[in-house]
A = this chain, B = another copy of it.
Amino acid sequence: MQGHLTDGTVEVGANARERYYDSRGYGRPRGDGVVLSRVEAAHLLYRGDLDAVDGQDFAAFLAANEEVVVDFLVYRDLRDRGFYLSPAREGWVDEPSDIDFVVHPRGDGPWDDTIEHRVSVVGERASIPLRSLGDVVLAVVDEESEITYLDTGDEPVSGSSSMAFDGATQGHLLEDRVLCWDPPSDLYEQGFYGQRMDRDDDTLQLSLLEAAYLAETGYLHVEGGAEALVDRGRTVEGERFDRRLTVYRELRERGLVPKTGFKFGADFRTYADVESVEELGHSELLIRVLPADEVLSPRDLALDVRLAHGVRKEMVYALVDGEGVQWVSVSRLTP
């Protein structure tokens, strides 16, 4: 059969509807014929199921429609994995502007109106505004045409850790940390605040974030109060300190214990259900704190997600806008 490109879609007439749409979920029916997106037409040409579009074979059609090459690679990969897809065109799927394809659940087709994934195709050189993520699977095509799928979510984080102190303790600000020479043992053992200088020594080293939060909540006294700690934080890391303190506070209030994620290149690792440091489990999340309008490259995302996966944690971006925090999780997906 032959197709004809007009207004950005490929029309195939005669009995194409049954052959392409009804039996294999390509395009949308128009009378007895079918309307195909250019990506679908390329795939049919590639498989030899369509002879030509306006006389062009697969190679010629791709050369004349360069801008669909990357989408084609993803479309083909998902087809090979046994899915039917609907290209995101107005009238074909809901909210088509955010995505490139809707992937239907295996066994379903475009006539079922069901959704397994909403997929956005990006080249590895794209720029990704993090706050646009949450209800989309990114299909990243790298420079060697390999595809990495990244699933994104927007559930707020939560946990069940909490602790109540009696009274307060005294701390001393030394450069960019706070030393407590004689803290109540619960502060570390139950609240998991700070790090002991030695195993057999009560002296506790608090980070500026931990100290600022404890000072705000009244459990720590330092010269100059919480303000002096926040000032020092801003001196050593600028506005980033405010963003990180906002997220630290939010995490503690949501029942998670944040500890440094430095060894993982993140801001925090978090423990959702701490009852005591003695019985500490595995930390579940890696949190990276960023301004709400941050834009990352797919490579940055791939690095974070790969590392988190390797240490059996989930990667979560905490996007800070003033006092508000938006949570965006990103994980590898094998469709």
Contact = CB atoms under 8 A, between A and B. Distances in A.
A246 to B, nearest CB: 16
Interface stretch (A95-103, A104-112, A168-176): A168-176
Nearest to A244: B143
Contact of A260 (B146, B210, B303): B146
Interface residues of A, number: 51
Contact of A264 (B67, B123, B236, B306): B306
B207 A265 contact: no
Given A123-B176, A174-B63, A181-B59, A263 B144 contact: no
Interface string A48-79: 00000000000100110011011000000000
With a 10 A CB-CB cut-off, give which of A63, A195, A205, A307 has the most chain B CB atoms: A307
B145 A262 contact: no
Contact of A125 (B176, B194, B310): B176
A298 B63 CA distance: 45
Contact of A304 (B125, B210, B265): B265
Interface in A267-308: 298-300, 302-304, 306-307
A179 interface: yes
A69 B174 contact: yes
Contact of A307 (B174, B237, B307): B307
Contacts of A311: 310
B205 A62 contact: no
A265 B299 contact: yes
A146 B263 CA distance: 9
Contacts of A17: none
B209 A262 contact: no
Given A70-B175, A143-B177, A302 B262 contact: yes
Interface string A107-149: 0000000000000000111000000000000001011111010
With a 10 A CB-CB cut-off, give which of A66, A67, A208 has the most chain B CB atoms: A66
B299 A142 contact: no
Given A67-B175, A262-B299, 16 more contacts: A63-B172, A66-B174, A125-B236, A125-B237, A143-B209, A143-B262, A144-B210, A144-B259, A144-B260, A145-B177, A145-B205, A262-B298, A264-B306, A265-B303, A306-B307, A310-B311
12 contacts: A59-B181, A67-B175, A69-B175, A144-B195, A144-B207, A144-B210, A144-B259, A145-B177, A145-B195, A264-B302, A266-B303, A303-B304
